[in-house]
Amino acid sequence: MTALLLVAHGDPDNAASSAAARATARTLEALGCFDPVRVGTLKEQPDAAEILRGLAGRDVWVVPYFMAEGWFTGTVLPRVLDTAGVSYRQLPAIGTAHGIDDAVVERARQVAHDPAHSTLALLGHGTRRSATSRDTTLACAQRLSRRGLYAEVLTAFTDDDPGLDTLDARVTSPTVVAVPFFAGEGFHPSALRDSISVSAGRTLLLASSAGSSPLVAQLVVDMVAHHRKAPRADASR
């Protein structure tokens, strides 16, 4: 049986940062598709490398519980995991999968609204240090816009342009449903809400993060199934 390691960013001062990854792991354990299912992080102890060592001798698939491909998934994570001295295969970040679109919609539907008269706003992290950080947020927004479920689909970023404070000026609907395109709830909801002001008569509804959707578990199963026959890049991975 294939072993699965979900790796989140983690935050030793905020347990909510990796809570979504751990919830997904529990769902995957119940599905019985992997044995075992483990969660590691880059910032909490025991870290991802130590968890990986405990999986030595197994066929290990690593799924980054991140929303974008960038410095953490491309540089930091492999560097950390390679210290374990255990063979593994790393897949792309969960946010790169097309199935994440359905997770966004599922999170949005947790707050009462009429999609036909609402703006869906994807709140990404982004960073001016890496252009790829924003790519998955933009790609998801474009795909959802083509589906025509909402009056419009917009993006805004905490650390990139356009910023959260620009959202209200671009919205044309009376209701804004904001879904954080984050892997977890590390950003406190009140902090996000305080960063977005809406005009009088307009309603802002803040949903839970895309990474917290129960649909992510099946997304992970599908990712592994899709890549199962791909050759390993090197001996360490």
Domains along the sequence of the chain with CATH = 3-96+215-227 (3.40.50.1400), 100-211 (3.40.50.1400)
How far apart, in whole angstroms, are the C-alpha atoms of residue 64 and residue 6?
6
Other CB atoms within 10 Å distance of the CB of residue 222: 13
Which tens digit of pLDDT belongs to each residue from 106-143?
Answer: 999 999 999 999 999 999 987 776 677 789 999 999 99
Residue 233 predicted with pLDDT over 50: no
Instruction: Spell out the residues 6+ positions from residue 171 whose beta carbon is closer than 8 angstroms to its own.
Output: 119, 121, 152, 154, 198, 202
Give me the pLDDT at residue 190, please: 62
Q: Say yes or no to pLDDT of 24 above 90.
A: yes
Q: What is the pTM of this model?
A: 0.91
Residues 78, 74: Cα–Cα separation, whole Å: 7
Confidence band for 164, pLDDT divided at 50, 70 and 90: very high
